A and B are shown apart, each in its own frame.
Chain A
Amino acid sequence: MSVFAQLASRKDCPRADTAGPVVIMTRIRLARNLRDCFFPDRADAQMRAHIRERCEKALGSLPAFKGGLVFDIERLNEWDKDVLVESHLISRELAQAKPGASVFISKDCNACVMVNEEDHLRMQFLRAGLQFKQAYKNAEQLDKALEKKLDFAFSDELGYLTACPTNVGTGLRGSALMHLPGLVLSGQMEKVVRAVSLLGMTVRGLSGEGSEAHGSMFQISNQQTLGEKETQILQHIEAVLGTIVEQEENARLRLIEDSPEKLFDKIGRCYGTLRHAHVLTSSEALNFLSLIRLAADLNILPPEKRPALDELIVQVQPGHLRGIVGSQSMPPAQRDIARAAFLRERMKAFPEPDFSKAGL
């Protein structure tokens, strides 16, 4: 069975239902390494296999992963890997990792652990909306359970030792996937990126490191992992995110007040295109869906449609689309045709935009 089919069969997996208008998803990541092994990049095939065996033995015995999924990355095809990346369950780096890499996914898809990525263990905890506290609670529980079974590389001075010194200390990266169409449309995003990096945060595109910011979606995370307690790091991120949310809301309000026609025109065109287009690339689809999502946030479309839109945002990406169409070997041109057809069909469930209702 394909990864797409296995994930689709899990009812709890779409985390879209409680996503906020601005913060789509929260993620906590912890990096850990075994004390007595080379880091994955330096380890040879035999050591990587040994690392994996030890990590998998420990992970496999935890109740958190009972009834969950385990994938050996080496045995997955490119489309399966795309599906996992698009679902935020693995990184692009793991998808391209040397043999010996795997991923454990919990039954509810809220927790996953990558083995032999940059570090021996990369634990990730996902939550819809802004939920750092809950996500970190889950992270702490899993970390505690694992440290009973594995001897982690740790020093009193530097904390948890990681392959890259940028992760040393807590090994904690908190990030939020944010939808910021207001700031993008009003040309303020560059300013925000600069301000946020001065506050010790990094801004990345939709799929993390090195990816583009399609559909006005950005991942914002802490840079520093050493010298602060975990709770302080998370408080700091939450404070910065709170400011960004405020800025985004102000930008949206100004768009409606200052130049409503321009905004409504954009939304109307996106709606029309999604209803009637016959060829759509992935980035086009994401950009259009982003504006439709904004329309739902502004009450121009029914706000209760937001979860369905968040689902579409994942489904129009290449890996998921192949799964939906049921054809894996589809050249990109044909995929763009299939994507447009899929969206024409799905957009029928959305009523015409009602611009008279626009407001925050």
Chain B
Amino acid sequence: MAENHKCDMCGKPATVHLTQIINNQSQKIDLCEACAQKKGMAASEAFGLSDLVAKTMTQISQTVGEALAQSSVELCPRCGMTPLQYKEAGRLGCPECYGALSSVVEPMLQQTQHAGKHLGKAPARDEAAQKRLELQAALKEAVAAERYEDAARYRDELGKLEAEPSAAK
């Protein structure tokens, strides 16, 4: 799957591939072994991976990382639904499945919805929700542009926002 990917940091062939799901958007980061080690140690400010993943990453050997990345076991991190289960049930498990199981959801959307983008109404949002969306977009952009310091800042702000009890409306 990712044999041809280059390290997002230095451009050498990447051997560690990480995917994380933020608000149903999957973000992929490819790194070479050296950069993974380097970034792993400073992960909390280097890029928007959760601390857990970052810490674990330094411990993961290259081979394990590669094996994990290449086995491509798709699984919704929230509800545990697999592509096979979705195909059998015809229904997704939770809202996050849309991002996590995109390999099976996308063909389905292409077929039944002509892969359109949402143009209809959106829920009226409060300020916090609006801010959260803006930060998520900024984070995505920063990661894409390899501005990892900005990304880390956005990630921290997002974390703070989500920790606030405003989610319990």
Task: Report if A and B associate in a common complex.
Answer: yes
Q: Which residues of B contact A151 (CB under 8 A)?
A: 167, 169
- Render A112-145 as a binary contact track against B, CB cut-off 8 A, 1 for contact: 0000001000000000000000000000100110
In this assembly, does A158 line the interface, its C-beta being within 8 Å of a C-beta of chain B?
Answer: yes
Q: How far is the CB of B125 from chain A (nearest CB, A)?
A: 9
Q: Cβ of A165 and Cβ of B105 under 8 Å apart?
A: yes
Q: Cβ of B112 and Cβ of A228 under 8 Å apart?
A: no
Stretch from A180-188, A219-227, A286-294 contacting the other chain: A219-227
Q: Which residues of B contact A71 (CB under 8 A)?
A: none
Q: Which residues of B contact A155 (CB under 8 A)?
A: 23-24, 95, 98, 118
Q: Which residues of B contact A168 (CB under 8 A)?
A: 98, 109, 113
Stretch from B41-49, B86-94, B152-160 contacting the other chain: B86-94
In this assembly, does A169 line the interface, its C-beta being within 8 Å of a C-beta of chain B?
Answer: yes
Q: Which residues of B contact A8 (CB under 8 A)?
A: none
Answer whether A164 and B91 are a contact pair too, CB < 8 Å, given A38-B79, A156-B118, A158-B118: yes
- Render A139-167 as a binary contact track against B, CB cut-off 8 A, 1 for contact: 01001100111011111111101011110
Q: Cβ of A230 and Cβ of B120 under 8 Å apart?
A: yes
- Render B12-33 as a binary contact track against A, CB cut-off 8 A, 1 for contact: 0000000000011100000000
Q: Cβ of A39 and Cβ of B94 under 8 Å apart?
A: yes
Q: How far is the CB of A124 from chain B (nearest CB, A)?
A: 18
Chain A interface mostly helix, strand, loop or mixed?
loop
Q: Cβ of A165 and Cβ of B114 under 8 Å apart?
A: no
Q: Cβ of B116 and Cβ of A38 under 8 Å apart?
A: no
Q: How far is the CB of A261 from chain B (nearest CB, A)?
A: 46
Chain B interface mostly helix, strand, loop or mixed?
loop
Q: Cβ of B91 and Cβ of A225 under 8 Å apart?
A: no
Q: How far is the CB of B50 from chain A (nearest CB, A)?
A: 18
Pick the residue among A38, A149, A229 that contacts B120 (CB under 8 A): A229
Chain B residues 60 to 98 lying within 8 A of chain A, measured CB to CB, are 78-79, 81, 89-95, 98
In this assembly, does A37 line the interface, its C-beta being within 8 Å of a C-beta of chain B?
Answer: yes
Q: Which residues of A contact B108 (CB under 8 A)?
A: 165-166
Q: Cβ of A33 and Cβ of B95 under 8 Å apart?
A: yes
Q: Cβ of B120 and Cβ of A165 under 8 Å apart?
A: no
Chain A interface size, as a band, is: 35 or more
Q: Which residues of B contact A39 (CB under 8 A)?
A: 91-95
In this assembly, does B123 line the interface, its C-beta being within 8 Å of a C-beta of chain A?
Answer: yes
Q: How far is the CB of A171 from chain B (nearest CB, A)?
A: 8
Q: Cβ of B120 and Cβ of A228 under 8 Å apart?
A: yes
Q: Which residues of A contact B113 (CB under 8 A)?
A: 165-166, 168-169, 224-227
Q: Cβ of B120 and Cβ of A169 under 8 Å apart?
A: yes
Q: How far is the CB of B86 from chain A (nearest CB, A)?
A: 10
Report how far A229 CA is from B119 CA in the complex, Å.
5
Q: Cβ of B117 and Cβ of A42 under 8 Å apart?
A: no
In this assembly, does B163 line the interface, its C-beta being within 8 Å of a C-beta of chain A?
Answer: no
Pick the residue among B81, B93, B112, B167 that contacts A165 (CB under 8 A): B112
30 inter-chain pairs at a CB distance below 8 angstroms, sorted by A residue, are A33-B95, A37-B94, A39-B94, A39-B95, A118-B91, A144-B124, A147-B124, A156-B118, A157-B25, A157-B117, A158-B98, A158-B118, A159-B120, A163-B92, A164-B90, A165-B92, A165-B105, A165-B108, A165-B113, A168-B109, A168-B113, A169-B116, A169-B118, A172-B120, A223-B112, A227-B114, A228-B116, A228-B120, A229-B120, A232-B119
